[in-house]
């Protein structure tokens, strides 16, 4: 599933490509994917002008001039691909936005788990989404409050989208390794010094991943259909049996809360 760096990369690409375009038509091939508000999706958004594109957690937010938004969750295999005029059909496309200049935007998803929904102006659709880890509000003190007295394993807490938005398995593993914290440690047992390292590691890892346009370890491509580059510099994720970049001991893979977890037994005590 695309995580914060991948979704941010997609959103930035769409912001550049779709600014001020007007939707002429929407071809919905799989109705369950496009969620309206009691009105056929195509009719509801035809004529809308795109005023901006942003991100909230793992959601792409396409802002419309009317004040409404199109909120897209890519789930496991969803893709948002900008298409030039007269381009051939993109594989597994479930929804196609056609613009008045002849270009298009495809929402493709081979597994059909992704969704795009219309959000009305002022609707608090993200009330259950946690704090953005790259925001000014995400301070070491905020992280300490999230961890205080919790018996939840630290990696599980990092993946809880109600607490911190956008972090998934890849970047939780990478940040915990960078901070030298065992993924199975109870959150309330993380020391102040370790929390400080983790706070810095989360922001550093996410920022570096955005700079390299995300990690293409599975299906992820950006809005132009291009792969990211951060998978080439991952320290532990997916590297079971390989030497730890810090100490040389073998990286191990264990399972925490039904999620594969890569870490170093020597470095992450």
Greatest distance between any 2 Cα atoms in the chain? 59
Least confident of 12-21, 35-44, 158-167, 196-205: 35-44
Q: What are phi and psi of 88, to 5 degrees?
A: -65, 155
**For residue 62, what pLDDT is reported?**
98
Q: Which of 119, 151, 166 is the last residue of a domain?
A: 119
pLDDT digits (tens, 9 = 90+) for 127-154: 999 999 999 999 999 999 999 999 999 9
Residues 79 and 151 in one domain: no
Q: In what order do the strands lie in the sheet with 115-119?
A: 34-35, 115-119, 69-73, 59-64, 50-56
Over residues 39-59, mean pLDDT: 96
Taking the C-alpha atoms of residue 45 and residue 36, their distance in angstroms, rounded to an integer, is 9
CATH code, domain carrying 62? 3.20.190.10
Active site residues: 2-3, 58, 259
Residue 22: DSSP 8-state:
B
The number of domains in the chain is 2
Least confident of 11-15, 36-40, 56-60, 89-93: 36-40
pLDDT digits (tens, 9 = 90+) for 82-140: 999 989 989 999 999 999 999 999 999 999 999 999 999 999 999 999 999 999 999 99
Residues 159 and 214 in one domain: yes
Helix (H, G, I), strand (E, B) or coil at 107: strand
Would 45 be classed as within a structural domain? Answer: yes
Residues 107 and 178 in one domain: no
Q: Find residue 56's DSSP bridge partners.
A: 59
Q: Which of 119, 152, 183 is the last residue of a domain?
A: 119
Q: Which domain holds residue 169?
A: 140-263
**pTM of the predicted structure, to 2 decimals:** 0.96
Residues 161 and 109 in one domain: no
Answer yes or no: is pLDDT of 37 > 90: no
Residues 93 and 181 in one domain: no
Would 132 be classed as within a structural domain? Answer: no
Mean pLDDT rounded to a whole number for the chain: 96
Over residues 195-200, mean pLDDT: 98
Least confident of 2-6, 52-56, 86-90, 112-116: 86-90
Residues 38 and 147 in one domain: no
**For residue 154, what pLDDT is reported?**
98
CATH code, domain carrying 235? 1.10.8.50
Would 80 be classed as within a structural domain? Answer: yes
Give the CB-side neighbour count of residue 171, counting CA atoms within 13 A: 32
Taking the C-alpha atoms of residue 36 and residue 44, their distance in angstroms, rounded to an integer, is 7
Report residue 39 CA to chain centroid gap: 29
Answer yes or no: is pLDDT of 269 > 90: no
| Element holding 35 (H helix, E strand) | strand 34-35
Residue 163's alpha-carbon distances to 77, 94, 160, 227, in angstroms, are: 24, 31, 6, 29
Residue 191's alpha-carbon distances to 71, 131, 221, in angstroms, are: 38, 21, 38
Would 182 be classed as within a structural domain? Answer: yes
Residues 81 and 174 in one domain: no
């Amino acid at each position: 599933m695309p995580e914060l760096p991948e979704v941010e990369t997609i959103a930035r690409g769409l912001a550049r490509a779709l600014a001020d375009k007007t939707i002429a038509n929407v071809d919905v091939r799989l109705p369950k994917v496009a969620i309206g508000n009691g009105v056929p999706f195509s009719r509801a958004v035809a004529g809308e002008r795109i005023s901006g594109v942003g991100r909230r957690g793992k959601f792409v937010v396409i802002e419309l001039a009317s004040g409404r938004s199109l909120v897209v969750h890519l789930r496991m295999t969803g893709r948002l691909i900008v298409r030039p005029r007269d381009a051939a059909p993109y594989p597994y496309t479930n929804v196609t936005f056609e613009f008045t200049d002849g270009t298009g935007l495809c929402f493709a998803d081979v597994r059909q788990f992704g969704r795009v929904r219309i959000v009305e102006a002022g609707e608090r659709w993200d009330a259950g989404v946690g704090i953005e880890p790259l925001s000014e509000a995400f301070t070491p003190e905020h992280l300490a409050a999230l961890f205080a007295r919790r018996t939840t394993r630290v990696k599980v807490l990092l993946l809880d989208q109600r607490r911190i938005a956008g972090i998934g398995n890849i970047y939780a593993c990478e940040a915990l390794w960078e901070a030298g914290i065992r993924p199975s440690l109870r959150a309330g047992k993380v020391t102040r010094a370790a929390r400080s390292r983790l706070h810095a590691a989360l922001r550093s890892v996410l920022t570096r991943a955005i700079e390299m346009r995300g990690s293409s370890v599975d299906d992820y491509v950006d809005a132009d259909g291009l792969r990211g580059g951060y998978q080439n510099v991952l320290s532990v994720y997916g590297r079971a049996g390989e030497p730890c970049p810090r100490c040389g001991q073998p990286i191990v893979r264990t399972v925490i809360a039904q999620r594969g977890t890569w870490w170093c037994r020597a470095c992450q005590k």
